[in-house]
Amino acid sequence: MDEFALIRRFFDRGAAGDALLGIGDDCALLAPPDALAVTTDMLVGGRHFFDEARPRVIGHKSLAVNLSDLAAMGAEPLAFTLALALPAADAAWLTEFSAGLFELADRHRCALIGGDTTRGPLNICITAFGHVPREQALRRDRARAGDDLWVSGELGAAAHAVAERQAGRVAADAAAARLDWPVPRIELGVALRALAHAAIDVSDGLLGDVGHVLERSSAAAGEVLGAEIDGPAVPVDAALAALPEPMRLALALAGGDDYELAFTAPPASRARIDAAAADLGIRISRIGRIDREPGLRVVDRDGRRLPVNARSFDHFR
Ligand code: ADP
Ligand code: MG
């Protein structure tokens, strides 16, 4: 199977979706109706996933992490490209990989419109394109003092599954599913356009990612912004129910790979945010507020500060 046969067989489905032109020319052509949202994520074998990971999972996840970035901007997916380095043209692997990829792509009507294919150590790089009305993009730097801090879904199970696998144990199904099959919150992001001030997807851990929002928003506002998080309000994944309480909270606060949305919004939006999430059947939790005290503080039921390590995951640390 040569390179072109491989592309034809596994990736070129002859459909360009919302694009003007898809696979087969030197470039694809897009005509976005509003601001174009662009994001790239690269997944490297042995680093972002375990080498024995099922190719269907890898296909799903490599697109899901990109769609999650679009969700965090309030953008709707338009299309994506796929740059792939493969150790071999393994038809069984490619069948499963492309099935996982297109299952998610089709769910969001997001067409594969181009890419590049070479031989090399397994490496998957996807660039996703979306669109969002330019004044309504959910930027990280738009949080304001007095905003509520919210998060979708439940946190911590994916990080627990990673730790279990790293320790050579088999992660419980519910936790493994959260790691392998993240659900990008596209519809929630779109619903939040008119309601939220700032948003980020929780990929490196809640504290670290909220820290990014504070840093960017402080710089943009020209004043120091901080946040107080109400520990008991943080939604810990039900898959962690059997773990001791401090460990559950630590995983929910600092674990990565959750792909939920953390966002800030004025208290006046509360009822509409709750209604929008209920319509979508997505759990959301109001976990704290943005204020003018420096730092990210987590408090317990009695308002006492909990010692937390706010470091998020950094590949070069
Ligand atoms: P060029 O040499 O002009 O960059 P290529 O020979 O690399 O073109 O690719 C031929 C066509 O197939 C292009 O339209 C490219 O976007 C597409 N393509 C290549 N690899 C992939 C892939 N993995 N998935 C989707 N489209 C691909
Ligand atoms: Mg090329």
Ligand nearest, relative to CA of residue 4: 1
Protein residue with least CA distance to atom 11, ligand 1: 24
pLDDT of residue 309: 63
- Distance between CA atoms of 17 and 100, rounded to whole angstroms? 18
Q: What distance in angstroms lies between residue 7's CA and the mean position of ligand 2's atoms?
A: 11
* CATH 3.40.50.720 at 138-299, yes or no: no
Percent of the chain with pLDDT over 70: 97
Q: Which residues surround ligand 2, an ion (CB under 5 A)?
A: 116
- Among 94, 101, 112, 116, the mutation site with the greatest number of ligand 1 atoms within 8 A of its Cβ is 116
pLDDT band at residue 52 using 50, 70 and 90 as cut-offs: confident
10 in contact with ligand 1, CB cutoff 6 A? no
Q: Exposure pattern of 85-114 as b/e (b: 16+ CB <10 Å)?
A: bbeebeeebbebbbebbbebbeebebbbbb
The residues of the chain that CATH labels 3.90.650.10 are 138-299
Give the CATH H-level superfamily of domain 3-135.
Answer: PurM-like, N-terminal domain (3.30.1330.10)
Confidence of residue 307 (pLDDT cuts 50, 70, 90): confident
Per-residue pLDDT for 226 more than 50? yes
**CB 114 near ligand 1, within 6 Å:** yes
The pTM of the full predicted model, rounded to 2 decimals, is 0.94
Residue range(s) occupied by CATH 3.30.1330.10 in the chain: 3-135
User: For 227-269, how does the pLDDT look when each residue is reduced to its tens digit (9 = 90+)?
Assistant: 999 999 999 999 999 999 889 999 999 999 999 999 999 999 9
H or E, element range at 95? helix 91-107
- For residue 223 and ligand 1, the question of a CB distance below 6 A is answered with no
Rg over alpha carbons for the chain, rounded to the nearest Å, is 20
Q: Is 82 close to ligand 1, i.e. is its CB under 6 Å away?
A: yes
CB atoms within 10 A of CB 8: 15
